[in-house]
Structure 1
Amino acid sequence: MKKIFTLMAVCLLALVSGCGGQQSSAPEPADKGPVELHVSAAASLTDVMNEIGKAYEQEHPDVKVVFNYGSSGALQQAIENGGAADLFFSAAQKQMDALDKQGLLADGTREELLQNEVVLIVPKEGGRGITSFDALTGDAVAHVALGEPKGVPVGQYSEEILTKLGLLDGIRAKAVYGSDVRQVLAWVASGEADAGLVYATDAAVEPSVRVVATAPAGTHKPIIYPAAVLKDTKHLDTAKDFLAFVSNDKNKERFAKYGFEGWIYNLSATAPRQPN
């Protein structure tokens, strides 16, 4: 009987030791094995980022890049509410600043990458009497498509421009507000709106619209696109690598192809950040 109890004690000790060893084992590295990288990006980046994502996947077959496009304001709110995202590409500094203040960005990863401009567009086969921003107040214009100013950066820039030009009050009754810049673009392309304000890059990829005017210099803050890795990413190394990939020479050419004006490195180190 004493031998039986001794044997049971040895077995129990071995079992406990085994469990303890399992609890103390180190977790698997976050980037080991196939990675699904979630990228939240402003709607105006849709075409170029889709191309960049495919190029990255070709070079990194163990990574799948999943994009979530929308207005920068909506994407910001989703991130604040715990939505799954590894990187954020915003169309304005305001939304990135808000996440930065809350400590939601991975240290040292924020970059100011691109700049854009706002243009006035009309349907390709219509809007013959609209040749300038001033024409928006005329009787021939029934609907002006704008981004929703509370959460859509192009809407915020548009209101700034129209206010600076003294036109905002005169077109408020005509304004229809889109949930992101691509909705504004679609309304004008389809003829549902007589005119609209979008980024130059969006107008460049839509053959059913034409640009009739560009926002005059000094009528809005510089349109800067910042990007950053998010602090809660489970794939920090891959996210950093993707952000570096976006900045390489080949992708500079891709951004230029889609109409972005310039490429900006370390803007915060060379110029004061514009307040939003």
Structure 2
Amino acid sequence: MKRQRFLVLITLLVLAFSLSFGMRSLNPLAAIAQSNTQLVVSAADSLTDALKELAPLYRQVRSNVTVRYNFASSGALQQQIENGAPADVFISAAAKQMDALQQKNLLVAGTRRNLLTNRLVLVVPRKTSGISNLKSLTDVRVKRIAIGDPRSVPAGQYAEEALTKAGLWNQLKPKYVLASNVRQVLQFVAAGNADAGLVYLTDAKTTDQVKIAQTIPSNLHSPIIYPIAVLKNSRNPTASRDFAQFLFSGTARKVFEKYGFTAT
């Protein structure tokens, strides 16, 4: 009799364990909550301030998940990912770089979404006068114009498009100072090492050392879209999806809008 009771007890314990394990398998968020996880998010430089502010807010939701950022130009990040650099989530400042990764089957299917939009602006040092629009850049007093390198920096690609449509690209070529990312463009202008520069509205808002001379008409360049996706080489795809979803939350939207982005 005692042996039968013992066997029944063992059976019940095994069943309970199996059910518990099964529930965790069915609920991926439960799995996230039960292990310490580190995510690597490769994101365009222009997202630096907003994403840094969002990290502790996400930590309040997932206390065991640590988000580590890798900020650079979207083109540089694309190359890193293609070369096998560890990353879980990619946020680009243009569709071009995300398209390239998608064509190489490096994104988790169904995770790519458009997260944000931005505007392109012409900025000048705070005390500068006489530069009010793109046409002003042809003035002989304007010697140096900072833009992101169009070969790898989306802000530079948008700048090239705008100046080309305005009929100014070739005329201004001798004046260009090419930067490796959009934040470097901003630094050149803020330090007075360039007479003007083309950056995102969100970058211009981060310093009082520059002022906006013109918001570039959106019909002069492609829409400035920030797509996001989970990467196939992610070691934590479930946590990566959860973080990506958090960036579409009301909490994240408020932070993004604070920095000048517009949620899609």
For this structure pair, what is the TM-score category when the shorter chain's length is used for normalisation? Answer: 0.7 to 0.9
Deviation at 1:33, TM superposition (A): 2.2
Q: What letter is aligned with 1:66?
A: R
Unaligned runs of 5+ in 1: 1-28, 265-276
**2:197 corresponds to:** 196
How many residues end up aligned between the 2 structures? Answer: 234
Summarize the alignment of residues 1-276 of structure 1 with structure 2, pairs less than 5 Å apart.
33-126=35-128, 128-260=129-261, 262-264=262-264
For residue 38 of structure 1, give the secondary structure of its aligned residue in structure 2: strand
Q: What letter is aligned with 2:247?
A: V
**2:20 corresponds to:** none
CA distance in 2, matches of 1:103, 1:199: 30
**1:26 corresponds to:** none
Given that 2:111 and 2:229 are in contact with CA atoms closer than 8 Å, whether structure 1 keeps it comes out as yes
CA distance in 2, matches of 1:140, 1:81: 44
Unaligned runs of 5+ in 2: 1-27
Rg larger in 1 or in 2?
1
Given that 2:93 and 2:224 are in contact with CA atoms closer than 8 Å, whether structure 1 keeps it comes out as yes
Q: What letter is aligned with 1:112?
A: N
CA distance in 1, matches of 2:100, 2:56: 30
CA distance in 1, matches of 2:54, 2:255: 8
Deviation at 1:37, TM superposition (A): 0.4
The root-mean-square deviation of aligned C-alpha atoms, in Å, is 1.3
TM-score by length of 2: 0.86
For residue 218 of structure 1, give the secondary structure of its aligned residue in structure 2: helix
Deviation at 1:171, TM superposition (A): 1.1
For residue 242 of structure 1, give the secondary structure of its aligned residue in structure 2: helix
CA distance in 2, matches of 1:259, 1:203: 9
CA distance in 2, matches of 1:170, 1:122: 19
Percent identical residues: 49
CA distance in 2, matches of 1:131, 1:233: 46
For residue 228 of structure 2, give the secondary structure of its aligned residue in structure 1: strand
Given that 2:147 and 2:185 are in contact with CA atoms closer than 8 Å, whether structure 1 keeps it comes out as yes
Q: What letter is aligned with 1:142?
A: K
Deviation at 1:58, TM superposition (A): 2.7
Q: Deviations over 1:138-157 (max 9, x none)?
A: 11101000000001000000
Deviation at 1:103, TM superposition (A): 0.5
Deviation at 1:217, TM superposition (A): 3.2
For residue 151 of structure 1, give the secondary structure of its aligned residue in structure 2: coil
TM-score by length of 1: 0.83
Deviation at 1:169, TM superposition (A): 1.2
Q: Deviations over 1:80-115 (max 9, x none)?
A: 000010000000000000000110001110010111
Name segments (4+ residues, structure 1) moved above 6 Å. none
Deviation at 1:263, TM superposition (A): 1.7
Deviation at 1:72, TM superposition (A): 0.2
Given that 2:119 and 2:218 are in contact with CA atoms closer than 8 Å, whether structure 1 keeps it comes out as no
CA distance in 2, matches of 1:147, 1:190: 16
For residue 55 of structure 1, give the secondary structure of its aligned residue in structure 2: helix
Q: Deviations over 1:46-71 (max 9, x none)?
A: 00000111211232221111000010
